[in-house]
């Protein structure tokens, strides 16, 4: 089946693309095809030409990646060692270390625009004269060797550096780095070496070959990590990620990144804990991809495709220090108190923190004192708290975190669903039970004043009114203090068109989009109508469909009137620009054309456009600081991965 694909550097003019696949005999074949003359979105199956054919001794370790270098425009082909354990098909060295009549376990470099083998129908390519083994012992096609199963290499589109992810055998996975300045000939060590160690198989592993290149990163098989999946150096629109190489492990679903600086690995990060998904989990990461704008995609073997994009911090969904309803009389409220519809009108209310025993009169943390009952040596076991809050556009929320301060134990319910229970509180704790599950002691020291974070499923939120309910249990009847506060924070997809990331759509966003349209540099963020192109239709979509306004509405009050004309007149022909200055057509000038637009729409309201075009099914795709958000695309089953570096 198909393993790799690459477009010719001159695809725009010649329509050529190349595929690497395993044919029905098990051989690896690289073939060239042409785009259909009648349909630019289809290939012409009748144009296939063999470029290279390599026999394979077994059905695994076939490699399969092909790619053109952005520096020399030659085609690079990654091959595995032929399969099976220990690379034993070409003794005494194994295929990967065998340089003569053996293209397995290698990176090959060829020129498919030439043909040095006119008499061989299975070899339609030329050998670059600068290949390292031209005129020396070794096959002329070989660029680098000593690889087991490269999955998958990639070029940094900006620098030309080559990253090679090589799947290990039973011990280690590795990433090797070849700078664009390389003259080729690197030996990456297999089968003697697996990562940075001798291959741990008797009779196979050994000392590092002279001159062999160590990987820049390797890791042991552990925690479900079994097979590296190579990615790309990020060159998309997110500035904080520029040059960071992303890769993953197929077995564990871990997602990592680092950047190279002067040949050294820097800023290594395990991003797995920062991943938030709109649907299914990452699962088995089989490959990565990138588009013309440099956006990075993560491919799941089960089908979903995810895109890394910008995520933003949202204001607190529920702020710490809010006012809470509370029940502090030692009674048993049953279970109904957890539900959104419970009537808490008879409960007291007060500002958090709430509690007792924290020296309130001496400036302690408590804003509201609650009762522990008539006997300080026989305090109530449980105090109950409730709070309602509003959520709008909850579909944009990527992740939701409960920030809980509770002394001693607590259970938290969101809209009647238990979402948090501290480890010291028994699963079936009743109103008169203490937080001493499994002999847990009282919360003490700095933990008494610490907010602990618990990430929960944002799907438990509802549009509109939500209710969070909390039961706080003492550790014992003589406990000296009780404390409670809670906040809810979220990360959200930016609103479509919120180009400055301030959480609201303003004239500044219109100006930013107009500048982008004039500049003509495409990005997904600017393509607000999600049609795959960047033009004035995006600007009109933002103004009319997203903001409910229209051309001529200088002050964005949804009506074109004389107040807008006053702003326009004040700025006509004086060099001022921008929406607020009256540049309604976005050409960078405030002139008579803008006056005509104001005149055309005078007296009209933005509500004229409110239902003209449906809103896209998903918002902008979300990593600015490094969170990873994955959501489905509006055009194809593509998801996004928002990413946060905190």
571-626: pLDDT as tens digits: 887 777 899 999 999 999 999 999 999 999 998 885 544 433 333 222 222 222 23
What stretch(es) of the chain map to CATH 2.60.120.260?
323-492
Judge if pTM exceeds 0.75. no
CATH topology classification for 2-221:
Neuraminidase (2.120.10)
For tokens 């220990």, the residue is: 86
CA angle 525/530/534 to nearest 5° reads: 65
What stretch(es) of the chain map to CATH 1.10.1330.10?
507-617
Size of the chain in residues: 646
From the list 287, 260, 310, 221, the residue with the least C-alpha distance to 491 is 310
Q: Give pLDDT < 70 ranges for the chain.
A: 273-281, 310-315, 358-364, 441, 501, 606-646
CA angle 143/185/58 to nearest 5° reads: 55
What stretch(es) of the chain map to CATH 2.40.10?
236-310+637-646
Tokens for 527? 């393509």
What stretch(es) of the chain map to CATH 2.120.10.30?
2-221
Q: Cβ(409)–Cβ(425) under 8 Å?
A: yes
For tokens 């820097």, the residue is: 266
For tokens 């042409």, the residue is: 34
Handedness of CA 376, 382, 388, 389 (dihedral sign): positive
Q: Cβ(279)–Cβ(272) under 8 Å?
A: no
Superfamily of domain 323-492: Galactose-binding domain-like (2.60.120.260)
Q: How far apart are CA 7 and CA 13, in angstroms?
A: 12
Amino acid 605: pLDDT: 80
Q: Which tens digit of pLDDT belongs to each residue from 396-454? A: 787 888 999 998 889 999 999 999 999 889 999 999 999 888 877 677 777 777 888 89
Phi, psi (5° rounding) for residue 396? Answer: -85, -5
- Find how far residue 71's CA is from the centre of its chain: 28
Question: 236-310+637-646 sits in which CATH class?
Answer: mainly beta
For tokens 């190489």, the residue is: 245
- For 338, the 3-state DSSP assignment is helix
CA angle 644/534/496 to nearest 5° reads: 40
List residues bridging with 288 in a β-sheet.
298
**What's the per-residue H, E or C state across 292-309?**
CCCCEEEEECCCCEEEEE
CATH topology classification for 507-617:
Type 1 dockerin domain (1.10.1330)
User: What value does the mean pLDDT of the chain take?
Assistant: 86
Q: Cβ(352)–Cβ(322) under 8 Å?
A: yes
Amino acid 412: pLDDT: 97
Q: How many CA atoms lie within 13 A of 624 on its CB side?
A: 16
């Amino acid at each position: 089946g198909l393993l790799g694909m690459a477009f010719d550097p001159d695809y725009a003019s010649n329509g050529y693309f190349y595929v690497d696949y395993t044919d029905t005999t098990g051989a690896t074949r690289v073939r060239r095809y042409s785009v259909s003359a009648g349909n630019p979105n289809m290939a012409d199956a009748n144009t296939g030409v063999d470029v290279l054919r390599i026999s394979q001794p077994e059905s695994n370790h076939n490699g399969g990646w092909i790619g053109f270098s952005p520096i020399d425009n030659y085609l690079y082909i990654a091959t595995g060692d032929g399969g099976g354990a220990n690379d034993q098909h070409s003794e005494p060295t194994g295929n990967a270390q065998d340089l003569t009549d053996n293209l397995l376990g290698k990176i090959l470099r060829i020129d498919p625009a030439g043909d040095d083998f006119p008499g061989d129908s299975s070899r339609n390519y030329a050998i670059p004269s600068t290949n390292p083994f031209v005129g020396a012992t070794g096959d002329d096609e070989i660029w680098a060797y000593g690889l087991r199963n490269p999955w998958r290499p990639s070029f940094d589109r900006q620098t030309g550096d080559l990253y090679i992810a090589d799947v290990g055998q039973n011990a280690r996975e590795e990433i090797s780095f070849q700078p664009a300045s390389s003259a080729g000939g690197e030996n990456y060590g297999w089968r003697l070496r697996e990562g940075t160690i001798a291959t741990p198989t008797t009779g196979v592993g050994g000392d590092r070959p002279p001159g062999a290149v160590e990987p820049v990163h390797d890791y042991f098989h552990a925690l479900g990590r079994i097979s590296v999946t190579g990615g790309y150096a990020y060159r998309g629109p997110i500035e904080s990620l520029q040059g960071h190489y992303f890769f993953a492990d197929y077995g564990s679903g871990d997602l990592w990144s680092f950047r190279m600086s002067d040949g050294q690995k820097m800023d290594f990060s395990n991003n797995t804990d920062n991943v938030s998904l709109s649907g299914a989990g990452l699962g088995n990461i089989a490959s990565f991809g990138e588009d013309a704008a440099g956006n990075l995609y993560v491919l799941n073997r089960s089908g979903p495709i995810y895109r890394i994009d910008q995520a933003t911090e949202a204001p607190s969904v529920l702020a710490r220090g809010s006012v809470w309803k509370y029940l502090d009389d030692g009674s048993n409220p049953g279970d109904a108190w957890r539900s959104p519809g419970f009537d808490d009108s008879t409960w007291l209310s007060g500002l958090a923190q709430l509690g007792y025993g924290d020296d309130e009169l001496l400036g302690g943390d408590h804003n509201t004192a609650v009762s522990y009952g008539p006997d300080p040596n026989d305090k109530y076991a449980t105090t109950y708290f409730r709070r309602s809050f509003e959520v709008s556009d909850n579909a944009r929320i990527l992740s939701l975190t409960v920030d809980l301060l509770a002394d001693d134990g607590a259970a938290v319910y969101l809209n009647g669903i238990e979402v948090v229970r501290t480890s010291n509180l028994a699963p079936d704790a009743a109103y008169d039970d203490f937080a001493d599950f499994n002999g847990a002691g009282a919360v003490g020291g700095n933990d008494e004043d610490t907010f602990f974070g618990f990430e929960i499923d944002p799907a438990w939120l509802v549009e509109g009114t939500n209710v969070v309910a909390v039961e706080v249990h003492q550790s014992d009847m003589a406990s000296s203090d009780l404390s409670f506060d809670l906040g809810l924070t979220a990360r959200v997809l930016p609103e479509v068109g919120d180009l400055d990331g301030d959480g609201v759509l303003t004239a500044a966003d219109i100006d930013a989009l107009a500048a982008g349209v004039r500049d003509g540099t495409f990005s997904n963020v600017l393509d607000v109508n999600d049609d795959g192109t960047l033009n004035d239709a995006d600007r009109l979509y933002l103004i009319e469909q997203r903001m409910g306004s229209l051309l001529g509405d200088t002050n964005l009050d949804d009506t074109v009137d004389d107040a807008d004309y006053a702003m326009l007149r004040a700025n006509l022909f004086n060099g001022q620009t921008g929406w607020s200055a009256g540049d309604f057509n976005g050409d960078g000038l405030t002139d008579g054309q803008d006056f005509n637009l104001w005149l055309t729409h005078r007296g009209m309201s933005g509500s004229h456009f409110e239902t003209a075009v449906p809103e896209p099914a998903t918002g902008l795709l979300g990593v600015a600081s490094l969170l990873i958000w994955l959501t489905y695309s509006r055009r194809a089953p593509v998801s996004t991965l928002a990413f946060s570096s905190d």
